[in-house]
Amino acid sequence: MRAVLVLYFRYFLRWDEDLATAIYHAFVALCYLTPILGAIIADSWLGKFKTIIYLSIVYTIGQLVISVSSIADMSDNDSDGHPNNLHLHIALAMVGLILIAFGTGGIKPCVSAFGGDQFEDNQVKERGRFFSIFYLSINAGSLLSTIITPILRGLHCGRVPQACYPVAFGVPGALMAVALLVFIGGSSLYKKSTPQGNIMLKVSKCIGFAIKNRFRHRSEQYPKREHFMDWATEKYDEHLIAQVKMVLKVLFLYIPLPMFWALFDQQGSRWTFQATRMDGNFGGLDIQPDQMQTVNPILILILVPVVDVIVYPLIAKCKLNFTPLRKMTVGMFLAALAFIAAALVQMEIDKTLPIFPTGEQGQIKIINVGKSPVNVALGGVSPSHLLAPSEASEYISVTAVNIENVSVTYGVKTVTYPTVINNGSRHTLLVTDILQPAMKLLDDIEEKPEEGKNAIRFATALTDVDNITMDGTEFGSLNKLSATNYSLFTKGTKMISYVINGKLCSQDSKEFGFGSSFTIIINEECPTENFKITYIEDIEPNSVHMAWQIPQYLLITSGEVVFSVTGLAFSYSQAPSNMKSVLQAGWLLTNAVGNIIVLIVAEASTIQEQWAEYILFAALLIAVCIVFATMAYFYTYVDPLEVEAEIGQELAKEKEAAEKQTGIENGSVLVIQSNL
Q: What is the DSSP string of 476-517?
A: EEE-SSEE---EEE-SB--EEEEEETTEEEEEE-PPB-SS-E
Average pLDDT estimate for 119-125 = 79
Give the residue with greater pLDDT, 256 vs 382. Answer: 256
Give 317 or 200, the one with higher predicted confidence: 317
203-246 residue pLDDT tens: 888 889 888 988 888 777 778 887 888 888 888 888 788 888 88
Res 616 pLDDT > 90: yes
Closest C-alpha to 244, from 209, 218, 213: 209
Q: What are φ and ψ of residue 206, in 5° steps?
A: -65, -45
Identify the H or E element spanning 207.
Answer: helix 199-216
Identify the pLDDT of residue 631: 92
pLDDT for res 405: 85
Q: How high is the pLDDT of residue 92?
A: 96
Angle at 327 between CA 321 and CA 329, to 5 degrees: 115
Q: Starting at the edge strand that comes first in sequence, how are the strands of the sheet with 385-387 ordered?
A: 385-387, 374-378, 405-410, 413-418
Helix, strand, or coil (residue 466): strand
Average pLDDT over residues 45-70: 93
Report whether 21 contacts 91 (CB < 8 A): no
Pairing of strands 285-286, 281-282: antiparallel
pLDDT for residue 668: 58
Q: Is pLDDT larger for residue 537 or for residue 81? A: 537
Give CA separation, 649 vs 214, 235, 517, in Å: 28, 21, 77
pLDDT at 261: 95
Helix (H, G, I), strand (E, B) or coil at 169: helix
Three-class SS state of 676:
coil
Q: Rounded to 5 degrees, what angle do the CA atoms 500, 501, 504 make?
A: 50
What confidence score (pLDDT) does residue 555 get? 96
Question: 165: pLDDT confidence band, cut at 50, 70 and 90?
Answer: very high
Residue partners of 663: CB distance under 8 A and separation at least 6:
none
Confidence bin at 417 (pLDDT 50/70/90): confident
Question: What was the pLDDT predicted at 553?
Answer: 96
| The pLDDT of residue 406 is above 80 | yes
pLDDT for position 496: 92
- Asked whether the beta carbons of 455 and 539 are under 8 A apart, the reply is yes
Q: Please, what is the average pLDDT of the chain?
A: 87
Q: Of 15-29, 256-270, 279-293, which gets the smallest average pLDDT?
A: 279-293
pLDDT over 70 at 676, yes or no:
no
Tell me the sheet residues that pair with 544. none
For residue 78, name the pLDDT band (cuts at 50, 70, 90): confident
Q: What is the DSSP code (8-state) at residue 161? A: T
Confidence of residue 143 (pLDDT cuts 50, 70, 90): confident
pLDDT, position 427: 92
What is the rounded CA–CA span in Å between residue 295 and residue 550? 7
What pLDDT is attached to residue 167?
Answer: 93
The predicted model scores a pTM of 0.85
Looking at residue 382, its pLDDT comes to 67
Whether the pLDDT of residue 97 is over 90: the answer is: yes
Lowest mean pLDDT among 134-143, 209-218, 636-645: 636-645
At 99 the pLDDT is 96
Is residue 651 over pLDDT 80?
no
For residues 319 and 449, give the distance between their C-alpha atoms in angstroms, rounded to a whole number.
54
- The residue ranking higher by pLDDT, 675 or 319, is 319
Exposure string (b/e) for 73-88, b if CB count within 10 Å is 16 or more?
eeebeeeebebeeeee
Element at 574 (helix H, strand E) = none
Give SS3 for 423.
coil
State residue 658's pLDDT score: 67
Please report, rounded to a whole number, the percentage of residues in the chain having pLDDT higher than 70.
94
Burial class (CB in 10 A: 0-12, 13-18, 19+), 122: exposed
**Total count of residues recorded for the chain:** 676
What does DSSP assign to residue 556?
A: H
pLDDT greater at residue 476 or residue 108: 476
Lowest mean pLDDT among 45-59, 217-231, 314-328, 404-418: 217-231
pLDDT in tens, 447-464: 899 888 999 999 999 888
Strands 361-368 and 426-432: parallel
The stretch 370-374 carries a mean pLDDT of 91
Residue 160 has pLDDT above 70, yes or no: no
What is the 8-class DSSP label of residue 191? -
DSSP 233: T
| Residue 559 to residues 564, 566, 633, Cα–Cα distance (Å) | 8, 10, 20
Burial of residue 362 (CB within 10 Å: 0-12, 13-18, 19+) is buried
Mean pLDDT confidence for 540-567: 92
User: For 306-338, what is each residue's pLDDT tens digit?
Assistant: 888 888 889 988 888 888 899 999 999 999 999
